[in-house]
Structures are given as structure tokens and as C-alpha cells.
Amino acid sequence: MSTESTQSKACCDTPAVVAKSYQPKGDYIEVDGLKTYATGSKDAKQGILVVYDIFGFFPQTLQGADILAYTDKEKQYQVFIPDFFEGSPADISWYPPGDDKDKQQKLGAFFSNQAAPPKTLPRIPKIVEELKKSRGVEKWAIVGYCWGGKIVNLSSMEGTPFKAAAACHPAMVAADDAPGVTIPYAMLPSKDEPKDDVEKWEKGLKVDHIVEWFPDQVHGWMAARGDLEDAKVKSQYERGYKTVLDFFHKHI
């Protein structure tokens, strides 16, 4: 199992695209000392913890949380996005870094500090426990994007508080992370994820799972890099969220 945070090639080569005019339905609360986006019916007993990508609270990611919260009429969710980077996400101007030594240095420092998995992983059980008490959530799923996909994989091992997990266009896919997964798992790779890495990872799984490729989408299309002004991207963005919701509906 690898907890080293490194830059994914796809992550570095694809610039972020800001969605226009979306007004989030939720609000912000504090959980375990972190600013946290909260959305969905406060009566819902099922929760989804979202682990964002390295750009933090992007409009596309907030919109995705609202979709997760309200789309499944039979199973609605309270959805939460903690600000694991505590107000200091990666700056989109650093992408792509190319040969720019300053951008490379800033990215390296970010992945070694704010984005280091050992810094984030211990907070997740604390956040879940606090929200169980304060918001009455009884069953949990977890979903992550890019960097968050790695965090999701490492949070799906023995003793996990989650019933199901999903990783969308995940970064740092490693075969040795798969055998320890103990809950149903959905992976949604884009055209930019290395096919060999994903296939080796899938072979190591011992749980119910799906791997659904989105071969015409870029790394990040369900989060900060989703150009929702493009009708095709918007359609695949929606299909991605439907895939995650269908999987959670079955397993939670």
C-alpha cells in the first residue's frame, strides 16, 4: 500500500475549467475544525463524504455534491466536502507546469505538504464520527476525484466506516492498494488514466466492483476540469454522477 503523494501526469497536463453561473444549494459548516460544504436533506440518514481534487471547492465539484444529494429520489443523502487543504488548495495557474521551475517547485511542495495522504487520512474517521453525532448520519459512502481518489482507496481498507466507495478519474492508481479494499468499489477512469495501472489494480480487488471507462473525457471531467459549457462533457459529467449514484444505491 502506497501513501506517497506524487503528481499524476494527467493531473499536470490538463488545465482546470471554471463552470459558469452555478449557484450551490448547500452551505458551509465546521467539522473537525475544517470548513465543510454541506448539502442535502438534513433528515437523510445516509451520508456521502466527498474528497475533492487538489483545486478544492470548485463550482463543478460543488454542483456534483448537490447532484449526489438530491438526484436519487428513493435514497437521498447528506453530502459533505471538508476543506482538507484548509484554504490553501493548488492554484490553477500552476497547471500545466511544463518546464517552469517555479511551478514545479510549488507543485512539489504542495504534494509534499497539504496533499500528503498521511496528513488527510487520520482526519476522515474523526469527521465521520462527528457528523454521525451532529447530523444523525447512520450509513456512509465516500467518493473522491483525482488526488481524492487515492485518499478514497486508502480509506476503504479494514476498519473503514464506509459501506461503499467510488473514485472518479483517480490519480496515483497502484496495484498494491487493491487487495486491502474491503468494501464495494466503483472506479471511473478517463482517457488519461494509464490503462495498465487500472487493469492491474482491478485484478487485485476481492470485492464487488465496477470499472467504467469514460474514454472520451479528460482527467478531471467530473470535478475542476469539467467544461460544462461543452454539451458532450456535460452529458458525460451527468452520466458519471448517475453511475456513482446507482452504485451507491445498490450497496448502501
Percent of the chain with pLDDT over 90: 81
Q: What is the pLDDT confidence band of residue 99, given thresholds at 50, 70 and 90?
A: confident
Domain at 9-251: CATH code: 3.40.50.1820
pLDDT, position 148:
97
Three-class secondary structure of residue 126 per DSSP: helix
Query: Which H, E and C letters describe 193-246, residue by residue?
Result: CCHHHHHHHHHCCCCCEEECCECCCCCCCCCCCCCCCCHHHHHHHHHHHHHHHH
pLDDT of 187 higher than 90: yes
Domain ranges of the chain: 9-251
Average pLDDT rounded to a whole number, residues 172-181: 96
Measured CA distances, 156 to 124, 166, 243 (Å)? 11, 10, 19
* CB distance 213 to 161 below 8 Å: no
Mean pLDDT is lowest, of 101-105, 155-159, 211-215, for 101-105
Average pLDDT rounded to a whole number, residues 38-52: 97
Instruction: Name the phi and psi angles at 204, rounded to 5.
Output: -85, -5
pLDDT, position 108:
87
Cis before 96? omega within 30:
yes
Q: What is the pLDDT confidence band of residue 95, given thresholds at 50, 70 and 90?
A: confident
Q: Tens digit of pLDDT for each residue in 24-43?
A: 999 999 999 999 999 999 99
Using the structure block, give the residue that is written with the C-alpha cell 478517463.
190
pLDDT of 10 higher than 60: no
Cα–Cα distance for residue pair 178/147, rounded to 1 Å: 16
Average pLDDT rounded to a whole number, residues 220-239: 92
Q: Which amino acid would we find at residue 65?
A: A
Tell me, what DSSP letter sits at residue 190? B
Cα–Cα distance for residue pair 208/114, rounded to 1 Å: 32
Three-class secondary structure of residue 142 per DSSP: strand
Q: Tens digit of pLDDT for each residue in 109-161?
A: 998 898 999 999 999 999 999 999 999 999 999 999 999 999 999 999 999 99
By C-alpha distance, which of 29, 41, 106, 110 is closest to 76?
41
By C-alpha distance, which of 31, 26, 87 is closest to 62?
26
